[in-house]
Amino acid sequence: MEPNQQELYEYARKRVKQKKRVYFHFILFLVSSVFFYIINKVLDVDPQDDWYLWVITAWGFLFVLHFIKVFVTESFINKNWEQEQISKLVARQERRIGQLEKKLENENDTTTTTTTP
């Protein structure tokens, strides 16, 4: 397998694994939410407080963050995006180095012409 194909395969495998974890997280969230409700209301474990709502809300928030990371952030901030950003920064640094070298050459030229009569 060529290096480029291997890289594409590894990226695809990583994305499938991430999506699989999100789906598992969602199923676990649903089952646990029902379980917490049953514990709180049916089994009468501190039923006056409705603590299950706090647990479900906190877990739901964590699930939303996980979902956003996998399906929103990772979809456009991926390896290609990273390589493009690196290329842009390297090009910017090279331009800046070129400008500084030109400035240094101009200063050297002006000092050599002013010092020699």
DSSP string covering the chain: --HHHHHHHHHHHHHHHHHHHHHHHHHHHHHHHHHHHIIIIIS-SSTTT-HHHHHHHHHHHHHHHHHIIIIIIHHHSSHHHHHHHHHHHHHHHHHHHHHHHHHHHHHHHHHHHHH--
Supply the pLDDT for residue 44: 81
Same domain? 36 vs 88: no
pLDDT digits 0-9 by tens, 1-54: 687 888 889 888 999 999 999 999 999 999 999 999 999 888 887 777 888 999
Same domain? 2 vs 46: yes
Same domain? 62 vs 6: yes
Same domain? 57 vs 112: no
Q: 2 phi and psi, to 5 degrees?
A: -70, 155
- Residue 84 pLDDT class (50, 70, 90 cuts): confident
Q: Is the pLDDT of residue 117 over 60?
A: no
Same domain? 28 vs 69: yes
Same domain? 3 vs 44: yes
Supply the pLDDT for residue 115: 60
| Average pLDDT of the segment spanning 57-73 | 94
Per the structure, how many domains does the chain have? 2
| Average pLDDT of the segment spanning 108-113 | 75
Same domain? 104 vs 60: no
Supply the pLDDT for residue 116: 55
What is the span of the domain harbouring residue 21? 1-75
Same domain? 82 vs 62: no
Mean pLDDT of the chain: 88
Same domain? 94 vs 55: no
